[in-house]
């Protein structure tokens, strides 16, 4: 291949090497041929150095702003804690970097809108880490719906239960179950139905442990959804599930239903006189959604290289936060809450009244 037609790799700086940052760093380094990991930053500089040494990355430090001023960096991948995302998005956009940012952008709408405005002004790409859209099973459900395979879709049912609750320290800064955990399910609901959620009714309680209640949070919830296109939906969540990580989805329509079951450790069935035993579901999100994390980053790199619209946009990052805030209000007021009650800022990023999403 000559230098002229050689396709350039996207050079990436990654911020935050915690659980999800390490996973993205390794995918970029080893599994995405069109990307190059050139810089790593974490306020825990020892963690940053350990990851950089492991992956052979030379540019490493505690201060992420060095990544933003590095002219060789084309895109940043933000994997630091949630409270840093909005500010980093604003600064990265101002520095002309394309941005992949983990969910959620922030818990406050005004901060989200400021970050999205900065991205618009700079005309850079922004993709938000709603990785479940890239799972092959959920993509197949979306395809079945959009191809009319189940006729007119009527009900979406999402079950999302974690194997065990996170630490109380995590719970305290998480923003609560709806903003931390259900946010993925709100995104899934929009993605599968191709419609905006118009109202929510949520009930929830702390059933798993008293410490969660003392931290002011819940660990068990059921949410009823209404969509702008007339569909209905339910989400049920638990922070604890005796048989592991339970991730199932069903969409029911006039001509049939389409369903994704759990992915199990293996597909072996042991049949005996007293019953048939299957393996447990894959342990947690890093295993269950491993493929989806790779596909989402590959598509982000492709969007940057080929000037395409990212698969999950800034607006897609904004709406599930709105829905989570509506669910919190609904639970508190014990009534259905319209999304329009929450989306009251004069914002160019509103999506109200949209019946068909551009997915």
Ligand X SMILES: NC(=O)c1ccc[n+]([C@@H]2O[C@H](COP(=O)([O-])OP(=O)(O)OC[C@H]3O[C@@H](n4cnc5c(N)ncnc54)[C@H](O)[C@@H]3O)[C@@H](O)[C@H]2O)c1
Strands 59-61 and 35-41: parallel
What is 241-302 written as a DSSP string? -TTS-EEEEEEEETTEEEEE-PPBS---EEEETTEEEEPPBPSSHHHHTHHHHHHHHHHHHH
Please identify, using beta-carbon distances, which residue of 19 and 356 lies nearer to ligand X.
Answer: 19
Please identify, using beta-carbon distances, which residue of 34 and 84 lies nearer to ligand X.
Answer: 84
Asked if 152 touches ligand X (CB under 6 A), the answer is no
Which of 299, 321, 323 is closest to 310 using CA atoms?
A: 299
**Contacts with 236 (C-beta within 8 Å, 6 or more apart), sequence order:** 158, 159, 160, 161, 221, 222, 223
> Cis before residue 104, ω within 30 degrees of 0?
yes
Please identify, using beta-carbon distances, which residue of 18 and 338 lies nearer to ligand X.
Answer: 18
Q: How far is the CB of 143 from ligand X (least distance, A)?
A: 22
Asked if 45 touches ligand X (CB under 6 A), the answer is no
Q: How far is the CB of 102 from ligand X (least distance, A)?
A: 3
Separation CA 118–CA 122 (nearest Å): 6
Asked if 198 touches ligand X (CB under 6 A), the answer is no
Q: Residue 126 gets which letter from DSSP?
A: E
Query: Per-residue string for binding with ligand X, 316-355, x by CB under 6 A?
Result: ----------------------------------------
Separation CA 114–CA 118 (nearest Å): 6
Positions in 57-116 near ligand X (CB under 6 A): 64, 79-82, 84, 102-103
Q: How far is the CB of 215 from ligand X (least distance, A)?
A: 17
Q: How far is the CB of 358 from ligand X (least distance, A)?
A: 22
Interacting residue with ligand X among 10, 12, 16, 51 (CB under 6 A): 16
Please identify, using beta-carbon distances, which residue of 84 and 229 lies nearer to ligand X.
Answer: 84
Asked if 285 touches ligand X (CB under 6 A), the answer is yes
Please identify, using beta-carbon distances, which residue of 44 and 108 lies nearer to ligand X.
Answer: 44
Asked if 19 touches ligand X (CB under 6 A), the answer is yes
342: which 2 tokens? 């929450």
Q: Sign of the CA dihedral 25, 31, 34, 36?
A: positive
Q: How far is the CB of 178 from ligand X (least distance, A)?
A: 13
Interacting residue with ligand X among 129, 165, 233, 320 (CB under 6 A): 129
Q: What share of the chain is helix, strand, coil (3-state, %, to 5)?
A: 40, 25, 35
Strands 220-227 and 256-260: unpaired
| Closest CB to ligand X: residue number | 18
* Count of positions on this chain that bind ligand X (CB under 6 A): 23
Q: How far is the CB of 152 from ligand X (least distance, A)?
A: 32
The kind and range of the H/E element at 142 are: helix 136-146
Q: Which stretch binds ligand X (CB under 6 A): 43-51, 153-161, 197-205, 314-322?
A: 43-51
- For ligand X, the binding residues (CB under 6 A) are 15-21, 41-44, 47, 64, 79-82, 84, 102-103, 129, 131, 285
């Amino acid at each position: 291949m000559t230098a002229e037609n050689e396709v350039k790799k996207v050079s990436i700086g990654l911020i935050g090497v915690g659980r999800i940052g390490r996973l993205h760093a390794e995918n970029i380094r080893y599994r995405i041929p069109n990307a190059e990991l050139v810089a790593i930053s974490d306020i825990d500089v020892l963690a940053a150095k350990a990851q950089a040494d492991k992956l052979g990355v030379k540019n490493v430090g505690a201060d992420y702003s060095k990544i933003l001023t590095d002219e060789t960096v084309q895109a940043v991948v933000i994997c630091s804690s949630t409270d840093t995302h909005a500010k980093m998005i604003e600064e990265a956009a101002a520095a002309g970097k394309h941005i992949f940012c983990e969910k959620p952008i922030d818990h406050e709408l005004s901060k989200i809108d400021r970050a999205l405005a900065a991205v618009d002004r700079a005309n850079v790409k922004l993709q938000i880490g709603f990785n479940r859209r890239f799972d092959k099973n959920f993509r197949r459900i979306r395809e079945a719906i959009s191809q009319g395979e189940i006729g007119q879709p009527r009900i979406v049912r999402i079950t999302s239960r974690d194997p065990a609750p996170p630490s109380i320290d995590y719970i305290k800064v998480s923003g609560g179950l709806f903003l931390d955990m259900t946010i993925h399910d709100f995104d899934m609901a929009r993605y599968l139905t191709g419609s905006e959620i118009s109202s929510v009714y949520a009930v929830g309680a702390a059933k798993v442990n008293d410490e969660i209640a003392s931290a002011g949070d819940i660990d068990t919830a059921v949410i009823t959804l209404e969509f702008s296109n007339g569909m209905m939906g339910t989400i049920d969540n638990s922070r604890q599930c005796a048989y592991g990580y339970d991730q199932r989805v069903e969409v029911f329509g006039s001509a049939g239903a389409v369903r994704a079951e759990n992915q199990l450790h293996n597909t072996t069935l042991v049949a005996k006189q007293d019953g048939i035993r299957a393996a447990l579901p894959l342990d947690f999100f890093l295993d269950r959604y491993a493929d989806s994390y790779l596909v989402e980053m590959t598509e982000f790199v492709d969007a940057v290289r080929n000037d395409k619209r990212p698969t999950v946009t800034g607006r897609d990052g904004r709406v599930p936060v709105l829905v989570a805030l509506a669910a919190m209000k609904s639970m508190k007021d014990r009534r259905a809450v319209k999304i329009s009650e929450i989306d009251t800022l004069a914002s160019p990023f509103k999506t109200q009244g949209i019946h068909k999403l551009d997915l």
